[in-house]
Amino acid sequence: MDQKAASALMQSLIKRANSSISQPQAAKLAQRTLLAAEEAYATPLILLVLDKYGTDVLSWAPATIRLELEQDFQLKLPKITLDKIMAAITILTTNYFYKDVTRFVEICNILSGDDFQPDEFEPADAGEMLLGITEALLLYPPNEDPEDTEFSAEIQEYIRQVLREEGILKPFDVLKFAMSDDSASKVDAEYADDPEMYSAIYEMQQEKTGDLRTMYLENMQGLMDQLRMLPLSNGSTEVVVRQLQQIVYLSGAEE
C-alpha cells in the first residue's frame, strides 16, 4: 500500500468510523491503513500495538516490532511509523521526555512526522512542541512527583527561547508554563507610552498565536479522528478521545 493510497483510504475510513460497520475485515483494514499512513499519530499507533501484543511489546527491540507488524499486517512498515511507536514507548517507559532536553526535542520532532536521524540535531518549533506535549499528556500524564514528570529547567528554558524567537508572547496553556518570566507583561510595560509600536506588536502577536492555534486544533481534530477510526479487540478508544478533548479544552486553544 503506497502512501497516496494509504492517505486516501484513511480519510475514507475516518468518514465511516461512526457507521455500523464492525466486520473483522474492516477492523483489520483500518489497522493496516493506520500503520501504512505516514500521517498517523503516535497515540493511536501505540494503542494498536499494545492491543495486538500486550504490554510485553514495551520491552521489544525495534526490529522485533517491525518484523511482527509487517508479518501480521502484510505491509512494509514506514520508517516514520516505527519511529513514532518507539517514541511513544519511550514516553510510556521513561521520564526522558520530561527531563532530558535532547530527548524532548527529538520526540517532539518524531511525533510531528520528521525523519529522525540520531546523528543530527533538529530544533523543535512551537507547533511541534505543542503536538509532542499533548500526546505525552495523553500517554504519560504528569503525576504528583516533580522528580518524575515536572519539566526540567533546561526544557522550560528551551521552550521559552523558541517562543521568544517565534515572537509568541502569550501562548495558550499547553506551553504557558515556560513563560514564568511574564514576558508579555514586560512588553506591555515597555511600550505603554508608544501606542503605535504597541499596536504593531499586538497585531503581530495575535497573528502568530492565531496561526499556531489553527494548526494545533487541526492536529487535534486529526488525532481524534484517527482514534475514533481505530478498532480495538480490548476496550475502546473513546476514553482516550474524551481525555484529549479535556486537554484541548483546558489548553485555552478553543475560543
Would you call 206 exposed, middle or buried from its count of C-beta atoms within 10 A (0-12, 13-18, 19+)? exposed
Cα dihedral value 42, 43, 46, 48, nearest 10: -120
Locate cell 518549533: which residue?
125
Q: What is the pLDDT of residue 74?
A: 93
- The residue that leads in pLDDT, 170 or 54, is 54
Across 39-61, b (16+ Cβ under 10 Å) vs e yields ebbbbbbbbbbbbbbeeebeebe
Give the three cell numbers for residue 61. Answer: 527491540
Tens of pLDDT along 64-104?
Answer: 999 999 999 999 999 999 999 999 999 999 999 999 999 99
SS (H, E, C) 89-151: HHHHHCCHHHHCHHHHHHHHHHHCCCCCCCCCCCCCCHHHHHHHHHHHHHHCCCCCCHHHHCC
Instruction: With beta carbons less than 8 A apart as the criterion, state whether 108 and 128 touch.
Output: yes
pLDDT at position 18 over 70: no
What are the strands, taking DSSP E only, across the chain? none
> How many residues make up the chain in this entry?
255
Mean pLDDT of 143-155: 82
Question: CA 36, CA 59: separation in Å to the nearest integer?
Answer: 23
Domain ranges of the chain: 41-251
Instruction: With beta carbons less than 8 A apart as the criterion, state whether 18 and 225 touch.
Output: no
- The residue that leads in pLDDT, 155 or 14, is 155
Report the half-sphere exposure of 153 (CA within 13 A, side-chain side): 1
Tens of pLDDT along 172-218?
Answer: 666 765 544 454 455 454 545 556 555 555 566 667 778 888 999 99
Question: What are the angstrom distances between the C-alpha of 150 and each of 99, 110, 252?
Answer: 8, 21, 21
Q: What is the pLDDT of residue 21?
A: 45
The 3-state DSSP class for residue 173 equals: helix
Q: What is the pLDDT of residue 249?
A: 86
pLDDT band at 121 (very low <50, low <70, confident <90, very high): confident
pLDDT band at 47 (very low <50, low <70, confident <90, very high): very high
Cα 90 versus chain centre, distance:
14
Instruction: With beta carbons less than 8 A apart as the criterion, state whether 254 and 246 touch.
Output: no
Computed over every residue of the chain, the mean pLDDT equals: 82
Mean pLDDT of 103-122: 88
Locate cell 512588553: which residue?
187
pLDDT at position 169 over 90: no
Range scoring the smallest mean pLDDT among 37-51, 98-112, 141-155, 238-252:
141-155
